[in-house]
Amino acid sequence: MKSFFYKSIVIYFLIVLILALLSHYYIINFITANNQLSYSLFFCILLIICSPIVLITIIKLNNKKNNDSITNLKRINKELYESNERYDIVAKATSDTIWDWDIKTGGFIWNKGIQGIFGYKKEDVRENLQWWFEKIHPEDSLKMSVKLYSFIEQKTEKWQDYYRFMCADGTYKYVFDRGFLVMDDDRNVVRMIGAIQDITKQKEEEQRLKLLETVITQTKDTVIITEISDIEKELPKIVFVNPAFTKMTGFKSNEVIGKNANILMNKFSVRNDIKKLAEVLKKKEEFTFEALNKRKNNEQYWVNLTMIPITNKDNQHSHWISIQRDISVEKEREKEREHLISELTQNNKDLKQFSYITSHNLRAPLSNLTGLLNLVEDIPIENQELKEIISGFSKSTHQLNETINDLVNVIIIKDSPSIQKEGIVIKDVFENVFNQLSFLIGLKKPIIKMDLNKAQIVFLNKSYIESILLNLMSNSLRYCDPNKQLKISIASKKNGTETIITFKDNGIGIDLERNKDKVFGLYQRFHDYPDSKGLGLYLVKSQVESMGGTISIDSKVGVGTTFTITFKNNKDV
């Protein structure tokens, strides 16, 4: 501007000067002396007239030039603004964080992305190279910086790298950073400009997919994916099989991929199911079935097959996923188990029959013996020896009869899972028991303490509970300590949904350390008493359990024995 001003002045001065000199020369050489003055005035006036014309022309020229440059400037400004705006919009649209690194000065400028994407406040961001490197994950920074500097060194045009960049909250985001170099005319690197893209989501998705993929490749289940064909009536094409497929069928993936699924099916020999299969395939619903298939080596195997229809984005059925499992072993086991169960059931049936017959065949002659002995009782016998013999014969017969009756009871209990129950007053049962044991009670004279007020009625089978209490009572009476006054305490109480009956004596007790597992066993005798058969507690336990109850024993040798019987109050049990 200024130069133009001086230039204009000089041009004006020169033009005016030249005009003055020319007019002077003209006057001196061509004008006579007497006219010189008037010519001089004429030229003066001419000069004066010329001067503003020149000046105006110059100013006009200048104005035009100025106008041009302003328009130009405005245009440039506008372009610059638009470009800036574009840049901002692009950065926003791509969610890229742009950085500008002045390599010579080390200055480093970030765009707004550093705030928006990574959460930094404006004042947190230091505009130097070091800050950038500080925020790169320590595991990535070395590799990344080596790559970056070798890139600058080689002056290749484009650079890109993946690394983790720290956010304001200390977490890391996976980023993809792309940059290019800006060089001066001498090919010296002056700046580098880059764009950081947040790819955390893609990276996570990638890892998730990788994980999902390992499920498919590592699973023991066979996975087959087939693609629905556009052509009607054509069966789906196999697009994927996992390694388990090869293991199960013997077919390598390249032997089946791209092929029609029916090739597989024929080889799979699911011909029996093929009609059913075609029907359900048409329905496009998930379904499961079992089939007997063949491997590549023609070996047969049972497979459990689940077909799952997959839809695409437009909700159109596009693929089938088939998950298959070799269940030959399970099938075999199932067969074995069924066989075993039927065998056991038969055995059990036979044994039951056997026990009924045996007991019948034992009872028949025994009842004859008993009947005959009953007859003998009425006949007076003179011979003393014969009398003794008959008496021994009679005792043995009765003993045998009792044992067989007990065994018969056991058989009946074991065979009748549903027995009739009724509300029973415990006290009445005890009265009955005392009546039956009146002889023994008279002999041993026990002190009996009864506390049956807390739970007076139980819902049980009458003959069973009578038999249980009779057995326990007669045990207490039989196995009392001869050196002590026999004390028996009986109590009942309610505990939630249960009724508990305790039966305690101070008799000789049982050594539970030695006999823990045998106490309630069949034919277990713990004392050498003449009338002990070792059946009572077995019977008691069987009867308690057949009514849905439990029985436990606590006993110490020389101290006494306590039985605890627990029944459910519930009528239905």
Partner 1 sequence: MYNKILCVDDDPITLMLCKKVIEKSDFSKQIDTAHNGEDAIKYFDNLKNNLEKDKNIILPQLMFLDLNMPIMGGWEFLDIFSENKYHDFFPELKVIVLSSTIDPRDIEKSKSYSMVIDFLSKPITKEMLYSFSNNTQ
CB of 218 to partner 1, least distance (A): 59
In the complex with partner 1, which residue's Cβ is closer, 365 or 530? 365
In the complex with partner 1, which residue's Cβ is closer, 365 or 496? 365
CB of 405 to partner 1, least distance (A): 9
Quickly tell me which residue has 């638009």 as its tokens.
82
Instruction: Find, among 465, 451, 438, the residue nearest to 551 by Cα.
Output: 465
- The answer to whether the beta carbons of residues 191 and 152 sit under 8 Å apart is no
Question: Residue length, the chain?
Answer: 573
How far CA 181 is from CA of 69, 152, 158, 178, 189, in Å, comes to 32, 8, 7, 11, 7
CB of 372 to partner 1, least distance (A): 6
In the complex with partner 1, which residue's Cβ is closer, 363 or 533? 363
Cα(400)–Cα(396) distance, integer angstroms: 6
- The answer to whether the beta carbons of residues 490 and 503 sit under 8 Å apart is yes
Cα(19)–Cα(26) distance, integer angstroms: 10
Q: Which residues pair with 301 in a beta bridge?
A: 293
In the complex with partner 1, which residue's Cβ is closer, 334 or 415? 415
CB of 535 to partner 1, least distance (A): 16
In the complex with partner 1, which residue's Cβ is closer, 57 or 394? 394
Please give the backbone phi and psi of residue 489, each rounded to the nearest 5 degrees, phi first: -120, 135
Angle at 244 between CA 208 and CA 218, to 5 degrees: 30
CB of 386 to partner 1, least distance (A): 19
- The answer to whether the beta carbons of residues 294 and 269 sit under 8 Å apart is yes
Q: How many CB atoms lie within 10 A of CB 218?
A: 10
In the complex with partner 1, which residue's Cβ is closer, 291 or 535? 535
In the complex with partner 1, which residue's Cβ is closer, 355 or 562? 355
In the complex with partner 1, which residue's Cβ is closer, 380 or 530? 380
CB of 365 to partner 1, least distance (A): 8
CB of 483 to partner 1, least distance (A): 41
CB of 223 to partner 1, least distance (A): 56
- The answer to whether the beta carbons of residues 237 and 254 sit under 8 Å apart is no
Query: In the sheet that 550-556 helps form, which strands lie side by side, from edge to edge?
Result: 447-451, 487-495, 498-505, 560-568, 550-556
CB of 556 to partner 1, least distance (A): 38
358 alpha-carbon distance from chain centroid: 58
- The answer to whether the beta carbons of residues 397 and 371 sit under 8 Å apart is no
- The answer to whether the beta carbons of residues 415 and 353 sit under 8 Å apart is no
* DSSP-assigned states of every residue in 482-510: TTS--EEEEEEEEETTEEEEEEEE-SS--
How far CA 485 is from CA of 414, 431, 445, 447, 481, in Å, comes to 38, 22, 8, 8, 8
Cα(403)–Cα(363) distance, integer angstroms: 11
List of E strands, 370-429: 422-425
Q: Which residues bind partner 1 (CB under 8 A)?
A: 356, 359-360, 363-368, 370-372, 374-375, 378, 408, 411-412, 415-416
CB of 390 to partner 1, least distance (A): 16
In the complex with partner 1, which residue's Cβ is closer, 205 or 422? 422
In the complex with partner 1, which residue's Cβ is closer, 363 or 427? 363
CB of 472 to partner 1, least distance (A): 24
In the complex with partner 1, which residue's Cβ is closer, 274 or 408? 408
CB of 497 to partner 1, least distance (A): 30
In the complex with partner 1, which residue's Cβ is closer, 373 or 457? 373
- The answer to whether the beta carbons of residues 543 and 563 sit under 8 Å apart is no
Q: Which is it for strands 487-495 and 447-451: parallel, antiparallel or unpaired?
A: parallel
Q: Which is it for strands 498-505 and 560-568: parallel, antiparallel or unpaired?
A: antiparallel
